[in-house]
């Protein structure tokens, strides 16, 4: 069997780094970082996600506030709430749970968030910096992928990496991050021809298309490193885009689902908040 990359263990290491950072601040009499997570409406999945954010943040010594707004709130009032948070010097990171109700201009509202507090890299300003190779907050899922690779001592420079999926959330930003690491990146999608052949020649495959068990033994070889970003519900279980049971015995390394990429995302959101605090103090 190929090596199973344990995302929980990697997350644990990052959590210890964050704890130490916040503890040292407290010992010097400085305040802890603070996140405000905004939810419009009462979507069950978003509530679960916010509660998990709160749990992780508090466990690391980070202050956390949930701003739960009625779905009847006007766009104007939502913008005012975000602007108040932008002006609040005690708030370092702002998270806006998406999608917003259909009546809202989502792109407009996202870009009301101060780029200095946009810890999930949703604003056009921060996304522009990301694609220009400038310093900015790294979106959490792509950042999880890079952390998993680097903390597993996987060399990225010069490696052939295939990214399956071209979403603005994962595919495009992780491709840019990999380019910044001097990887040779091929972005594939639903219209790509000869996908199996392209994947078989890759050193690393990042699969993020939302099709459970899509990546099977026909796409991989014995030296393949598989980073599975998929999280689909199948028969009540969270399932990845790679057919783990079929390929884990074949490939060199693979991330499980759950317990892989998703195990790091919230932790890295807290790390971005620590970075925001430092940036705003300097």
Q: What is the DSSP string of 159-173?
A: -EEEEE---TTTHHH
**What DSSP state is assigned to residue 137?**
P
Backbone angles phi, psi at 180, to 5 degrees: -65, -25
Q: Which residue, chain included where needed, has tokens 């001097």? A: 182
Domains and CATH numbers, the chain: 29-115 (3.40.50.10860), 140-263 (3.40.50.720)
Q: Could you give the maximum distance between any two Cα atoms of the chain, in Å?
A: 59
Q: Residues 251, 230: contact at Cβ < 8 Å?
A: no
Q: Residues 197, 154: contact at Cβ < 8 Å?
A: no
The pLDDT assigned to 1 comes to 63
> Which residue positions form the known binding site for NADP(+)?
165-167, 231
Per-residue pLDDT in tens (0 to 9) along the chain, 282 residues: 679 999 999 999 999 999 999 999 999 999 999 999 999 998 887 888 899 999 999 999 999 999 999 999 999 999 999 999 999 999 999 999 998 999 999 999 999 999 999 999 999 999 999 999 899 999 999 999 999 999 999 999 999 999 999 999 999 999 999 999 999 999 999 999 999 999 999 999 999 999 999 999 999 999 999 999 999 988 888 899 999 999 999 999 999 999 999 999 999 999 999 999 999 887
CA dihedral 70, 75, 77, 79 (to 10 degrees): 120
**What DSSP state is assigned to residue 211?**
-
CA dihedral 272, 45, 101, 50 (to 10 degrees): -30
Distance in angstroms (rounded) separating the CA atoms of residues 92 and 34: 5
- Buried/exposed code over 163-174 (b: 16+ C-beta within 10 A; e: otherwise): bbbbeebbbbbb
Distance in angstroms (rounded) separating the CA atoms of residues 131 and 134: 8
> Which residue positions form the known binding site?
165-167, 231
The pLDDT assigned to 45 comes to 79
Query: Using H for helix, E for strand and C for coil, what is the string for 110-129?
Result: HCCCCCCCCCCCCCHHHHHH
Distance in angstroms (rounded) separating the CA atoms of residues 35 and 163: 31
- And the tokens for 174? 């992780």
The pLDDT assigned to 241 comes to 97
The pLDDT assigned to 274 comes to 97
pTM: 0.93
Per the document, the length of the chain is 282
The pLDDT assigned to 280 comes to 84
Distance in angstroms (rounded) separating the CA atoms of residues 149 and 204: 10
The pLDDT assigned to 162 comes to 98
**What DSSP state is assigned to residue 35?**
E
């Amino acid at each position: 069997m190929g090596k199973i990359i344990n995302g929980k263990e990697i997350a644990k290491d990052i959590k210890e780094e964050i704890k130490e950072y916040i503890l040292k601040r407290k010992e010097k009499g400085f305040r802890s970082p603070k996140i405000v997570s905004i939810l419009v409406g009462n979507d069950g999945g978003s509530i679960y996600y916010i509660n998990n954010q709160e749990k992780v943040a508090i466990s690391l010594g980070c202050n956390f506030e949930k701003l739960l707004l009625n779905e009847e709130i006007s766009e104007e009032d939502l913008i005012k709430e975000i602007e108040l948070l932008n002006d609040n010097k005690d708030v370092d990171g702002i998270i806006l749970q998406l999608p917003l109700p259909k009546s809202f201009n989502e792109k407009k509202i996202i870009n009301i968030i101060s780029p200095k507090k946009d810890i999930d890299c949703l604003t056009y300003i921060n996304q522009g910096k990301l694609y220009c190779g400038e310093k900015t907050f790294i979106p959490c899922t792509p950042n999880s992928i890079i952390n998993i690779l680097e903390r597993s001592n996987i060399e990225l420079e010069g490696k052939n990496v295939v990214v399956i999926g071209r979403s603005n959330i994962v595919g495009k930003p992780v491709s840019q991050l990999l380019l910044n690491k001097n990887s040779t990146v091929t972005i594939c999608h639903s219209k790509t021809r000869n996908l199996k052949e392209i994947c078989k020649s890759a050193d690393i495959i990042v699969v993020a298309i939302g099709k459970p068990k899509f990546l099977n033994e026909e796409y991989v070889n014995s030296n393949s490193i598989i980073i599975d970003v998929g999280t689909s519900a199948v028969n009540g279980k969270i399932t990845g885009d790679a057919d783990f049971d079929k390929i884990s015995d074949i490939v060199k390394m693979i991330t499980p689902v759950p317990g892989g990429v998703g195990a790091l995302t919230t932790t890295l959101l807290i790390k971005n908040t620590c970075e925001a605090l430092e940036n705003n103090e300097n």
